[in-house]
Structure 1
Amino acid sequence: MDDDEGVGLGKFEHADRGLKRSMSLTQLLFLGVSAQIGSGWLFGVLSAAGVAGPAAILAWLIASVLVFLIALAYCEIGAMLPRSGAIVRYTYLTHGSYAGWIIGWAYWLSAVTIPPIEAIAVVTYLGGKWPSMDFLEKKNGVDILSWPNGIVFGVLLMLLFFVLNFYGAKFLSESNKWVTIWKLVLPTATFLGLFLVLDADNFHSYGGFVPKGVAPIFHAIATSGIIFSLLGFRQALDYGGEVKRPQRNVPLATLGSVVIPGVLYTLLQVAFVGALNWKSMGLHPGDWNMLESGKWADGPFFHALDSANMALLGALGTLLIIDAAVSPLGAGWVYLGTATRTGYGLAVHRNIPPAFQSNNKFGVPWVALIVSSVVGCVFFVPAPSWYQLVGFISAAAVLTYMMGGVGLPVMRRTAPSLPRPFRLRQHNFWSGVGFLAAAMILYWAGFSTLVNVFTATFIGLPIFAWYYAWHEEWVPKVPAMVLGVAFFVVWVWLAIEGGWVLTSDGGQRAGGWGFWPYFIAFAAALIIFSALLWVFSNSTGRLHIERTAWLLWLLLGTLVVSYYGVYGPLQDPSLGFPWGSLIELVLGITAYLWGVRSGFATDEMKDIVESNAAGGSPADALAEV
């Protein structure tokens, strides 16, 4: 690494010196595109149509715009501070270690679950084409992985992802380049082919273009795989420490990996809706909500091409079976790299042992890679379907993406001297808009998804007490251990007794608590844990905990609004559309203003600024939008 690349690296950032800057703009862009054109294009269009009908086309358009707005703030931050595991690290720089851990844990959960879901997509498509493989079994009318054939094959695919990541970012990006070209060409050929058999009735008959109303359009964005398919722009950020000329290449790759998949997916949704053959699916025309249990669920585009009874499209369907392996595999191995760099980023900020920063001779954090691979395989044990996992992953990811919007104004205030090769004009406005976009997508995910995501996110708090708070001498060892154990026990008890977590149908188990008893206990456990951690902490710990209050306010408030809104469990919701969304918007505005005020100059940020002042700054031309 040359001297210029070391500028701005303080003592908290020295680990990045062990990484190799070997990736070009094209390779970085292809990583982002490849991560998004995975299982989402194979299954997302059917799932979205099942939620919103033909109006799923609008859902893709709206989602693309929202993700673009979310990405704007990250373009400036990513060019200013290109770091591997970037998204998980920025929160530490603006809001401290407590908020950083909450966001980092949620981000790691979302990243580590994507490789297995991509493997599940491969197994599902192949199992649907060749039932004799016994990869799938029916449970509650939905295809899930069978034991042992389906699950063992999924684990073998995870092993393949591991090998491809082990040999370094350059090897990963080079092998991914040709896969990405394939993944762009075949979906393009698919929607062009399906336009030949377009049935216009599917767009305006069977309930009209918006058969279920406006509200499901936004629900589809968060739960059907749309957001899951469009959030791959983070690859450009998370590989920032391994890119040549990151000040230019990171923002360009970030925006490019939003626009290209957004256009492609919208066209694919149009083609799929037009190609629906209700008789072939075994469904009555207009049964949009039954698509996931229809005969096309295990391979939507393959069946669409096959039902056209055209030789040319039949040949394309054969290629699609190949792509059913290639596309998810390409996304899976890229996201395993993301999960690896997320673990690396958590270790840089000392939330987990420093061994997670250890690089092999190819510059890959190998301990983080092993742990991410093993934990990913755990998600095969319940053997869920693609459709069941995608909402959880999307909401967990979106929870973390709101931090770009709230973090940029803080960095403008705490680090005004850092060079900004990409400078966002009217940043306060666009940062706020991006933050609200993420907050609204989180709300649209629905109560059932949110309660599972928040439960999984906060169950990581004992680790923070046991490891970070004690090792950083915020809290003495004994109080930290006792507090962590007590919270863990209470949290598991709430998840079991409340009856809202890990239910097969997204509802509540029999005998569970009513909402308010459950919510009061949920909020009390979280607040009491944070309050006691504050009481036992020194002045440094107290500052970090105080500056996280706005985040807890937003998440708890969103849970209440989502319960009473149209995306909650109530048959007759108190907050019909759009009132629930408007209340969430107000909640988001208050959280954004509070969050910006809560940001402060952390020790990490001070160190980066001081190192930059001592070493000069890269001579990059400023680009403004």
Structure 2
Amino acid sequence: MANSNAATGGRLHRAVGFWGLMFLSLGSIIGSGWLLGALTTAVIAGPASLLSWVLASVMLGVLALVHAELGAAYPIAGGTARFPYFAFGPLVGFTAGWMSWLRSVMISPIEVEATLSYSDRIGWVHDRVHILHPNGTLTPAGLVIATCFMLLFTIINVLGVRLLSSTNSVTVVLKTAVPLLTAAVLMSLAFHGANFTAGGGFAPYGAHGVFAALPAGVVFAFLGFEQAIQLAGEARDPQRDVSRAVIVAMAIGTAVYLLLQVAFIAALQPSAVSHGWASPVGKGNFGPYATLATALGAAWLAIVLYADAVISPAGTGLVYMAGAARLSYAMGRQRVLPRPLAGVGRRGVPVLSVLLAFVVGELAFLPFPSWQALVSVVTSAAAVMYAFAPVALHALRVRDSGRPRPYRLPAGSVLAPAGFVFANLIFYWSGYQADWKLAVTVLFGLGVLAATRRGIPVGDRGALRWRSAAWVWPWLVGLLVICRFGRYGGSHALPAWWDLLIVIAFSLAVHYCAVRLALPPDAVDTAVRGERS
């Protein structure tokens, strides 16, 4: 049985079982996205927002299955940073890990922002404590409350993975029960079937609306399925449990979000959407389900929803801080971030990495005004992060074919390239305005990598494997150019549908080129064995 005492030898403490892993992924999936996603997507796509959820579930489902095979075959902490490292070397591993870390470290403050924004709409709270300025930024009082949330996340994380898992499991039960209760109550009180063709028909904004809704909250809602993989280094039986946890969490999350979208559309007053979907619950309403519940005479449900507006985002923020810490821990072990980040405390927790996540999260409260302000950027970062996984899987199947794979992706030779295409399409749909900002953060990250390596003696630096990384820069620059001329925040120079064909063709070319440039088998084996040394 795994050691239940403090970690020894600087290793993480293996203390999490299947249910803990599954709840970690599900707890990340069900966060502020369920409170805000239905309204946001309905405004952009109308009733066809249902297609947005289905499309996202299929695309991210493939990516989840890719991660499930990788997580079971290579059960290590911070897997999204290390799978590309095994296949392509430190430079690619750092780029993937940097994107993953940025995404994870920003979600904790985003979830806190969602909690405070929701709470500020409660009359008795707003009358006593001014949390937000009119432009959505935090007041001094709001910043204090936000800091208290971040401190709570930090303390729970520092006290150990067992407490983290137990705390998260309790909150996830509530986080899942409340959305299901909400959907059931709304559909029992009002089900206006005509709403699904109101305001211009089922798809009033066409396919463009369906695609545009994906980065506006749909993909963001599904983010987090990989959290079980980030903590695989602390799983008791990772080969058996990690893949199952990811698959089950994704299936439950998909069912919950589809039910919520159906309930939301059906419960709206027909007069509110008969002429369009610009304002289905009235301007300024930040809590759409609570507004609908009150209008339908279920004020008690509104109270439950406002309580859950604290529990759901806070639980997700807690888990993402843990994931961010494991990523910086992983990159510290790879020597692409400062080595002290890989230090493990007596409770088997990377304490310095947790504290770094707290500090960066605090900085994120200062410049950004609201939940919506970062969703597209975070979605874009997640798309890049997820894109590395299918390429790494395909390359590792070729270069490390003899490794046991407790879970094997069906039709991997087809679904791995498809997963890469799906991630690139999500990046494209995120829009040029989000994507160019992300490109700046990549350049900053490379500066961090250069500074880190300068602090390492020349003989200990190791090769960055530039040849195996040669596909990354043409890929990222090429995607950015396509986005610049595309119709999602770009110049609209690319014709509709042709833009998607260009993204697909470009993605497939990059994918197969990347697989050919992967490290040779002996280098892959050395990297994997080095992880266990």
Range into which the TM-score falls when normalised by the shorter chain: over 0.9
Q: Note if contact 1:215-1:566 (Cα within 8 Å) is conserved in structure 2.
A: no
Q: Kindly state the Cα deviation for residue 206 of structure 1 after the two structures are TM-superposed.
A: 1.0
Q: 2:426 aligns with which of 441, 450, 458?
A: 441
Q: State the distance in 1 between where 2:356 and 2:530 align.
A: 32
Alignment-derived partner of residue 483 in structure 1:
none
Q: State the distance in 1 between where 2:171 and 2:235 align.
A: 20
Spell out the pairing of 1:293-312 with structure 2 (5 A cutoff): 294-296=283-285, 298-308=286-296, 310=297
Q: Kindly state the Cα deviation for residue 116 of structure 1 after the two structures are TM-superposed.
A: 0.2
Alignment-derived partner of residue 179 in structure 2:
187
1:585 maps to 2:504: yes
Alignment-derived partner of residue 213 in structure 1:
206
1:552 maps to 2:473: yes
Q: How many residues align?
A: 526
Give structure 2 stretches of 5+ with no counterpart: none
**Structure-2 change in CA distance of 1:611 and 1:381 (3 Å):** closer
Alignment-derived partner of residue 58 in structure 1:
51
Alignment-derived partner of residue 34 in structure 2:
41
Spell out the pairing of 1:162-311 with structure 2 (5 A cutoff): 162-195=154-187, 196-221=189-214, 223-277=215-269, 285-290=274-279, 294-296=283-285, 298-308=286-296, 310=297
Q: State the distance in 2 between where 1:611 and 1:102 align.
A: 20
Alignment-derived partner of residue 504 in structure 1:
none
Q: Deviations over 1:363-422 (max 9, x none)?
A: 110000001111011111014211111111111011111111101121122222322212
Q: State the distance in 1 between where 2:43 and 2:327 align.
A: 33
Spell out the pairing of 1:527-542 with structure 2 (5 A cutoff): 540-541=463-464
Q: Deviations over 1:570-600 (max 9, x none)?
A: 3xx2223211111000110111011111111
Q: Deviations over 1:97-139 (max 9, x none)?
A: 1111112111111000000000001101110113222112323
Q: Give TM-score, length-normalised by structure 1.
A: 0.80
Alignment-derived partner of residue 10 in structure 1:
none
Partner amino acid for 1:557? G
Q: State the distance in 1 between where 2:192 and 2:279 align.
A: 19
Partner amino acid for 2:180? T
Spell out the pairing of 1:364-403 with structure 2 (5 A cutoff): 364-403=349-388
**Structure-2 change in CA distance of 1:378 and 1:15 (3 Å):** farther
Alignment-derived partner of residue 353 in structure 1:
338
Alignment-derived partner of residue 137 in structure 1:
133
Q: State the distance in 1 between where 2:282 and 2:101 align.
A: 31
Q: Note if contact 1:116-1:377 (Cα within 8 Å) is conserved in structure 2.
A: yes
Q: Give TM-score, length-normalised by structure 2.
A: 0.93
Q: Kindly state the Cα deviation for residue 568 of structure 1 after the two structures are TM-superposed.
A: 2.4
Give structure 1 stretches of 5+ with no counterpart: 4-13, 477-537, 616-625
1:127 maps to 2:120: yes
Query: For 1:461, what is the secondary structure of its paired residue?
Result: helix
1:21 maps to 2:14: yes
Q: Kindly state the Cα deviation for residue 437 of structure 1 after the two structures are TM-superposed.
A: 1.1
Partner amino acid for 2:66? A
Q: Kindly state the Cα deviation for residue 46 of structure 1 after the two structures are TM-superposed.
A: 1.2
Partner amino acid for 2:132? L
Q: Kindly state the Cα deviation for residue 292 of structure 1 after the two structures are TM-superposed.
A: 9.7
Partner amino acid for 2:94? W
Alignment-derived partner of residue 329 in structure 2:
344
Spell out the pairing of 1:456-467 with structure 2 (5 A cutoff): 456-467=441-452
1:404 maps to 2:354: no
Q: 2:526 aligns with which of 602, 607, 620?
A: 607
Q: Deviations over 1:432-491 (max 9, x none)?
A: 111111111111111111111111122111111122266263899xxxxxxxxxxxxxxx
Q: State the distance in 2 between where 1:609 and 1:106 align.
A: 22
Q: State the distance in 1 between where 2:266 and 2:379 align.
A: 27
Q: Note if contact 2:290-2:306 (Cα within 8 Å) is conserved in structure 1.
A: yes
Q: Note if contact 2:22-2:228 (Cα within 8 Å) is conserved in structure 1.
A: yes
**Structure-2 change in CA distance of 1:106 and 1:611 (3 Å):** closer
Q: State the distance in 1 between where 2:277 and 2:228 align.
A: 36
Q: Kindly state the Cα deviation for residue 601 of structure 1 after the two structures are TM-superposed.
A: 3.5
Q: Note if contact 2:101-2:324 (Cα within 8 Å) is conserved in structure 1.
A: yes
Q: Note if contact 1:235-1:338 (Cα within 8 Å) is conserved in structure 2.
A: yes
Q: State the distance in 1 between where 2:132 and 2:276 align.
A: 24
**Structure-2 change in CA distance of 1:177 and 1:604 (3 Å):** farther
Q: State the distance in 1 between where 2:155 and 2:269 align.
A: 41
**Structure-2 change in CA distance of 1:16 and 1:316 (3 Å):** farther
**Structure-2 change in CA distance of 1:602 and 1:342 (3 Å):** farther
Alignment-derived partner of residue 101 in structure 1:
94
Alignment-derived partner of residue 400 in structure 2:
415
**Structure-2 change in CA distance of 1:15 and 1:219 (3 Å):** farther
Q: Kindly state the Cα deviation for residue 288 of structure 1 after the two structures are TM-superposed.
A: 2.7
Q: State the distance in 2 between where 1:66 and 1:253 align.
A: 18
Partner amino acid for 2:295? S
Q: Note if contact 1:79-1:246 (Cα within 8 Å) is conserved in structure 2.
A: yes
Q: Note if contact 1:47-1:291 (Cα within 8 Å) is conserved in structure 2.
A: no
1:431 maps to 2:420: no
Q: State the distance in 2 between where 1:364 and 1:610 align.
A: 22
Q: Note if contact 1:120-1:385 (Cα within 8 Å) is conserved in structure 2.
A: yes
**Structure-2 change in CA distance of 1:576 and 1:331 (3 Å):** same
Q: State the distance in 2 between where 1:210 and 1:16 align.
A: 58
Q: State the distance in 2 between where 1:31 and 1:475 align.
A: 36
1:331 maps to 2:316: yes
Q: Deviations over 1:255-310 (max 9, x none)?
A: 1121110111011011112223487xxx77544345698232x21211111111x2
**Structure-2 change in CA distance of 1:277 and 1:164 (3 Å):** farther
Q: State the distance in 2 between where 1:19 and 1:248 align.
A: 19
How large is the Cα RMSD of the aligned pairs? 2.4
Q: 1:566 aligns with which of 473, 481, 487?
A: 487
**Structure-2 change in CA distance of 1:293 and 1:168 (3 Å):** farther
Q: State the distance in 1 between where 2:434 and 2:8 align.
A: 36
Q: Note if contact 2:69-2:408 (Cα within 8 Å) is conserved in structure 1.
A: yes
**Structure-2 change in CA distance of 1:66 and 1:474 (3 Å):** farther
**Structure-2 change in CA distance of 1:470 and 1:545 (3 Å):** farther
Q: State the distance in 2 between where 1:185 and 1:62 align.
A: 24
1:314 maps to 2:302: no
**Structure-2 change in CA distance of 1:161 and 1:286 (3 Å):** farther
Partner amino acid for 1:137? H
Alignment-derived partner of residue 9 in structure 1:
none
Alignment-derived partner of residue 112 in structure 1:
105
**Structure-2 change in CA distance of 1:416 and 1:194 (3 Å):** same
Q: Kindly state the Cα deviation for residue 17 of structure 1 after the two structures are TM-superposed.
A: 6.1
Query: For 1:566, what is the secondary structure of its paired residue?
Result: coil
Query: For 2:133, what is the secondary structure of its paired residue?
Result: strand
Alignment-derived partner of residue 576 in structure 1:
495
**Structure-2 change in CA distance of 1:375 and 1:602 (3 Å):** farther
Q: Note if contact 1:145-1:151 (Cα within 8 Å) is conserved in structure 2.
A: no
Q: Note if contact 1:95-1:602 (Cα within 8 Å) is conserved in structure 2.
A: no
